[in-house]
Amino acid sequence: MTTTVATAIGVDVEERTETSEQSSTAVLTAPDIPWNLVVWNDPVNLMSYVSFVFQSYFGYPEAKANKLMLEVHRKGRSIVAHGAKEQVEQHAVAMHSYGLWATVEKASSAGTGKGGARG
Amino acid sequence: MAKAFKYGLKGITGHLEPAERELLRGLIDDVISMLEPSEAPDQDPLAALVGLDMDVRQPTDRALLRLLPNVMKDDDAGSLEFRQLTERSLRENKIGALRAAAMGLDRKELTLTQEEARLWSMALNDIRLVLAERLDIRDEADADHVHAMQDWSQAEDVESYLALVYNFTTWLQESLVQSMMASMDRR
């Protein structure tokens, strides 16, 4: 990811409500959660924009969005949500609409990356 | 000179000179023409209506592949199947955001609602992704190298011109995202 001078990474940990996050994943029970949504680092997307997408699309609070964004930036990838396959695929298309590089994978094949959607 | 987007009493506002608007219009048109699906004459109209595209292939152009990436890392067949179901609507989504930004450029005052700002940020991002592929930005070092080009008097060839255009759109998108964050904080 890329950052410009004005980018302040959230020292401000003001929590927002997590309504859309809850509505998107809370209905799932454990056996229904075999897929991960992975977002990959690239040298183009702005750190601020990636955090904005995590906040506005998933409804994550700023602190969580920044944590996931930094994980993408530093580790090259981050699991930003998980759920049933169809749901995770829908998230992937949304990420592609925003221009983020996202893939889906079976949860069991995930070698790295904690910090999933609902830890 | 363009002014950075800011969030204030009137909402998210910015200012672009006519030449800068013209530049952005040109970039938007370029990306739209990349994304517009080529209509095959013998295409099943019902399939097209529901967004299916069984003839779709993984893009060979790197920039287009970056806009329309594979959904699975190591499963080309699975990715292609998914592409047949979703690529058409993804293209339409992106074209929609780009057209919304182009319409905004036709207005005298650059005052954006939250939703308009979101569409603008998506459009600017896709423009930057395409420019970055043309500039061969593969890693952070490449990005830093391009970012160092800030002086328009240095624009002496296509590559340096593209780098300056890339930096301009980066700056514009960054200020827009900061304004959107500020407006979210005050909801």
Q: Where are the domains of chain A?
A: 35-109
Instruction: Decide if A89 touches B, using CB distance below 8 A.
Output: yes
A89 → closest Cβ in B71, B93, B128: B71
Nearest CA in chain B to A16: B185
Beta strand residue intervals within A1-119, DSSP E: 35-40, 77-83, 102-106
User: What's the gap in Å between the CA of B46 and the closest CA on chain A?
Assistant: 22
Q: Which residues, including other chains, have CB under 8 Å from residue B183's CB and lie 6 or more apart?
A: B7, B11, B12, B114, B117
Q: What is the pLDDT of residue B151?
A: 84
How many whole angstroms separate alpha carbon A36 and alpha carbon A82? 4
Rounded distance, CA A87 to CA B95, Å?
24
- Cβ-contact B58, B80 below 8 angstroms: yes
Among B residues 119-138, those touching chain A with beta carbons less than 8 Å apart: 121-122, 125-126, 128-129, 132, 137-138
Q: Please tell me which residue of chain B has the smallest CA distance to A74.
A: B140
What pLDDT shows up at residue B41?
A: 59
B95 and B64 Cβ atoms separated by less than 8 Å: no
Q: How many domains does chain B have?
A: 1
Helix (H) or strand (E) holding B52: none
pLDDT in tens, B102-152: 999 999 999 999 999 999 999 999 999 999 999 999 999 999 999 988 888
Share of chain B above pLDDT 70, in %: 93
Report how far residue A57's alpha carbon sits from residue A49's, in angstroms, rounded to the nearest whole number.
12
Q: Which B residues 3-62 touch A at CB under 8 Å? A: none
Say if the Cβ atoms of B132 and A104 lie within 8 Å. Answer: no
Beta pairing partners, B41: none
Task: Find the residue in B nearest to A49 (Cα).
Answer: B177
User: Which ranges constitute the DSSP H helices of chain B?
Assistant: 18-35, 45-49, 62-67, 76-105, 114-134, 140-147, 158-185
Residues A113/A71, Cβ–Cβ less than 8 Å:
yes
Cβ atoms B40, B103 nearer than 8 A:
no
Please report the pLDDT score of residue B86 as a whole number.
95
Q: How far apart are the CA of A86 and the nearest CA of chain B, in angstroms? A: 11
Distance from CA of A41 to the nearest CA of B (A): 10
Contacts of B147 (CB under 8 A, 6+ apart): A2, B167, B170
- Cβ A55–B143 below 8 Å, yes or no? no
Domain of B152 in residue numbering reads as 3-185
SS3 for B12?
strand
What are A103's strand-pairing partners?
A38
Name the residue with tokens 């095959």. B40
Q: Is the model's pLDDT at B97 over the cut of 70?
A: yes
The pLDDT, as a whole number, for residue A11 is 38
The answer to whether the CB atoms of B69 and A96 lie below 8 A apart is: yes
A110 falls in which pLDDT band (50, 70, 90)?
very low
Q: What are A54's two structure tokens?
A: 């995590």
Among A44, A92, A104, whose Cβ lies nearest the Cβ of B128?
A: A44
Is A35-109 a CATH 3.40.50.970 domain? no
3-state secondary structure of B7: strand
Instruction: Count chain A–chain B contacts defined by CB atoms under 8 A.
Output: 89
Q: How confident is the model at residue A10 (pLDDT cuts 50, 70, 90)?
A: very low
Among the listed residues B78, B95, B87, the one whose alpha carbon sits nearest the alpha carbon of residue B53: B87
**B69-85: average pLDDT:** 95
Task: Give the SS3 label for residue B79.
Answer: helix
